[in-house]
Structure 1
Amino acid sequence: MLVEVFNTREIALGMWLIIGLVLMLCSKNLRDGLGGVLKSLFVWNLMSWLLAMAVYISAFIYLFYRIGLWTPDLLKDTVFYVLFSATVSMFKANKISEDKHFFLEMLKDNLKLGILMEFLIGQYTFEWWIELLIVPLAVLLAGMQAIAGNDTKYAAVNKLINSIWMITGAAVIYHLVNSVIQHFGDLLSKAVLRQILLVPNLTLVFIPFLYILSLRMVYEEQFILLSFKLRDKKLLLFAKRQALWKFNTDLHGLKRWVNRWNLLHPQTREEILATIHAFKAQQQLEKVPPVVLQQQGWSPYIAKEWLPDEKLKPAFYDPVYEEKWSARSGELKLDKDWSGNGIKYSVIGTQLAADQLELRLAAYEPKNLQELCTIFKDRVASLYQIATGTETPLKLMNAIVNKKNLRFRQGIYFITLEKST
């Protein structure tokens, strides 16, 4: 009966999961940790959304059933999707507002041609005892490769592991091609097509639910922050209502507005409305940046986009204290390790004009300082030419290479290169 429902790979994975769970239960520390995890899962806030997800997906399953896209034999695959895809995506919902490509990447992952290959690999498995051996072998090889991959002294081991992966891959492809040839007629059935389309269909209808969940999580987080800044409960309720009404799905705007409370400290309804009005005016200003005279500096809303690296594009130009405004980028990492070597870009000035551009290189015990300087020099040259409209002076490039301090004036611009330790 079990073999009729689950394939050999699923049975093998299930057996190893049971073995792992038994081993965990044999250890008191692991038992306590597992108990804590289970306790954190069974809180009403989380359970209510899991229940809502189950009801939501069930409604679409019924719709799919009515139009012929779902049949009872797909129940197992549906449950697997809910447990290992939908639920995992729910736990990532708090990051959706920070990743503008989240849903696009989610669609790409579930609508790519590779999904057919994944289906075939899952459809035509090996004997159960082979699958049972593959699981620990794959985990062992992956662990060894993670350790040996970045160390030259393990090059021979890494080469051997790659060879094992290639042989294993060739065996899987041979088995797959042979199985497809033998069962080619079965692959052309409507049942197989429904099974292949199940995950893409469920993903498409699940995206609106995830979006609503992400909205709710961001608003809840920001409202908690507001509660620390507003002790008056009636005023807090007013601020929450205004946030929902004025910002709607503009989550970035909501976060920026809440963050400005540290500077503005509105304590009346009129002041709260004034901060929202000022922020909305700021957003309009960002859409149509004003012209800035050369003597005044640069338009901050344009200057923050000058460098080509996505990591060096500051998200927003916001007030930091009194009349001072700034936009600070993330960090462009220069090494794959944990050295912390990287470049950051800042635009500093007033609300309407930036009068300072700053490019900062952080090098903490770098392995190749000369290479880092070359990368930094290219970014400096690019920024200098755009900001001043002139070619980058050779003395500035030489000072970077030689790691020397330098100050000079170029027309109306003052350029400073400063090394600090």
Structure 2
Amino acid sequence: MTMVSDLFNSREIALGVWLMIAIIAVLFGKSTRSGFGGVLKALFVWNLMSWLAGMAVYISAFIYLFYRIGLWTPDLLKDTVFYILFSATVSMFKANKISEDKHFFLEMLKDNLKAGILLEFLIGQYTFDLWVELLIVPAAVLLAGMQAFAANDAKYAAVNKLINSIWFISGGFVIYHVVDSVIQHFHELLSLGVLRQILLVPNLTLVFIPFLYVLSLRMVYEEQFIMLSFKLRDKKLLRFSKRQAILKFNTDLRGLKRWVNRWNLSHPQTREEILVTIDAFKTQQYLEKAPPVVLPQQGWSPYVAKDWLPDEKLKPAFYDPAYEEKWSARSGNLKLDKDWSGNGITYSVTGTRLAADHLELRLAAYESKKLDELHAIFKERVALLYKNATGVEAPLKLTNAISRKKNIHFRQGIYFISLEKSIWGNITEGYDLIFTISTKND
């Protein structure tokens, strides 16, 4: 026991004890035992194990480098293993999401280089007695679970407030304990060993990012090549497509995905046709970076119009071919955080390759009783879209029609404006409120 306590602090021992209890409980349960076996089987597949082994070798090489230049010593082995198990490995499982989140690495760096890293180190350094830590672990898990449940229902607001108070008071005791320990052991914190320990995670994170990036590239390319294999039965043509994808897209993973998704629109079946689709897509990407000027009578630049609304959920990702000669961009669904009814707002831009001629903002009302706040947002976004599209403020007759949810059709210069309420006829009295601006009288 003495050797264990020398190697691990009381918090780590407490977490280990509860983890072992949880594993034993899983193994003794018939239903959970089979699921646990499935998880283990999924982990020990060759592809995953090869990348985990590669990660271990990669980090080990940098640890040796850190050791040579004095940034790492053997007493940091435990912290290094913890970083690999609970940070690096977890990040690896998220690698397939990196291409979809352009801020992934920035957030990763911010988390590991933030000012609070010293406080986190001190909280982990100065723990309570083992019996206290053994009580803290289940209590924290129980409180977190209760808060997650209470946060989703307004009728448990008092419970949520009480739990927040418990967290606040507990945090005060922890801070007091840490400050008292720092005062008593201040001279110990002024050592080079402590500085190495504080800098260990930031250093490992910085050098681990390139490995994650390469893993992300590999995973996305594998995923897209599998999709290509279903679209191309000719193996020689498939190999050609893969080579061209690597050569032309390189690290442009979003471009690669869009190109593969467009496959069903053009159905290229020869090398020449494949090259044409890549060239056409590259031209499209150039247009997105430098949108051409669109005359008012033609409509609007789709690459500008799709970003007119401030909400991230209402910003369509791309303007792409839809059907025949039509192109479109459709946003996600803007919802209120605590509204689970399905009420939401969407925005779409439609037109030709170079010019958008139809803008639509749609409010889907699944439960009208919960709609007041979202309806107010819809009204504001209509006014903003109207001003951006026409260059003038929205008229009072339009804002009044939105408030009353009444149909209205009129013309503003060369543009045709409409607001229509489409009733679904279901038991929830659901409806769509559709606002459109168009260069054509549809």
1:23/1:103 CA distance change after superposition, 3 Å: same
SS where residue 348 of structure 1 aligns? strand
Contact 1:406 1:416 in 2 (8 A): yes
Note the 1:289-328 alignment, pairs <5 A: 289-328=291-330
Matches of 2:83 and 2:252, distance apart in 1: 30
Contact 1:266 1:275 in 2 (8 A): yes
Amino acid at match of 2:272: E
Contact 2:349 2:359 in 1 (8 A): yes
Matches of 1:410 and 1:337, distance apart in 2: 35
Matches of 1:159 and 1:392, distance apart in 2: 42
Q: Match for residue 341 of structure 2?
A: 339
Contact 2:339 2:370 in 1 (8 A): no
What's the CA shift string for 1:326-355, capped at 9, x where partnerless? 111122222423222221111100001100
Q: Match for residue 192 of structure 2?
A: 190
Indicate yes or no: 2:197 matched with 1:220: no
Amino acid at match of 2:142: L
- Which of 135, 139, 144 matches 1:142? 144
Contact 1:326 1:348 in 2 (8 A): yes
Q: Match for residue 45 of structure 1?
A: 47
CA displacement at 1:367 relative to structure 2: 4.1
Contact 1:370 1:401 in 2 (8 A): no
TM-score by length of 1: 0.98
Amino acid at match of 1:145: Q
Structure 1 runs, 4 residues or longer, greater than 6 Å off: none
- Which of 398, 401, 409 matches 1:407? 409
1:357/1:155 CA distance change after superposition, 3 Å: closer
CA displacement at 1:160 relative to structure 2: 3.0
Q: Match for residue 239 of structure 1?
A: 241
Number of residue pairs matched by the alignment: 421
- Which of 71, 74, 86 matches 2:73? 71
Q: Match for residue 269 of structure 2?
A: 267
CA displacement at 1:108 relative to structure 2: 0.2
Matches of 2:168 and 2:291, distance apart in 1: 55
Note the 1:4-403 alignment, pairs <5 A: 4-403=6-405
Contact 1:306 1:383 in 2 (8 A): yes
Contact 1:339 1:366 in 2 (8 A): no
CA displacement at 1:309 relative to structure 2: 1.5
What's the CA shift string for 1:221-240, capped at 9, x where partnerless? 11011000000000000000
What's the CA shift string for 1:99-141, capped at 9, x where partnerless? 0000000000000011111100000000000000001111111
Deviates most, 157-166 or 28-37 = 157-166
Matches of 2:98 and 2:179, distance apart in 1: 39
Amino acid at match of 1:258: V
Amino acid at match of 1:261: W
SS where residue 371 of structure 1 aligns? helix
Contact 1:235 1:269 in 2 (8 A): yes
CA displacement at 1:147 relative to structure 2: 2.4
1:333/1:151 CA distance change after superposition, 3 Å: closer
Matches of 1:227 and 1:152, distance apart in 2: 50
Matches of 1:67 and 1:237, distance apart in 2: 45
Contact 1:341 1:361 in 2 (8 A): yes
Alignment RMSD (CA, Å): 1.2
TM-score by length of 2: 0.93
1:56/1:366 CA distance change after superposition, 3 Å: farther
Contact 1:377 1:397 in 2 (8 A): yes
Contact 1:314 1:327 in 2 (8 A): yes
Contact 1:396 1:406 in 2 (8 A): yes
What's the CA shift string for 1:42-79, capped at 9, x where partnerless? 00010110011000000000000000000000000000
CA displacement at 1:390 relative to structure 2: 1.5
Matches of 1:60 and 1:142, distance apart in 2: 37
CA displacement at 1:146 relative to structure 2: 2.2
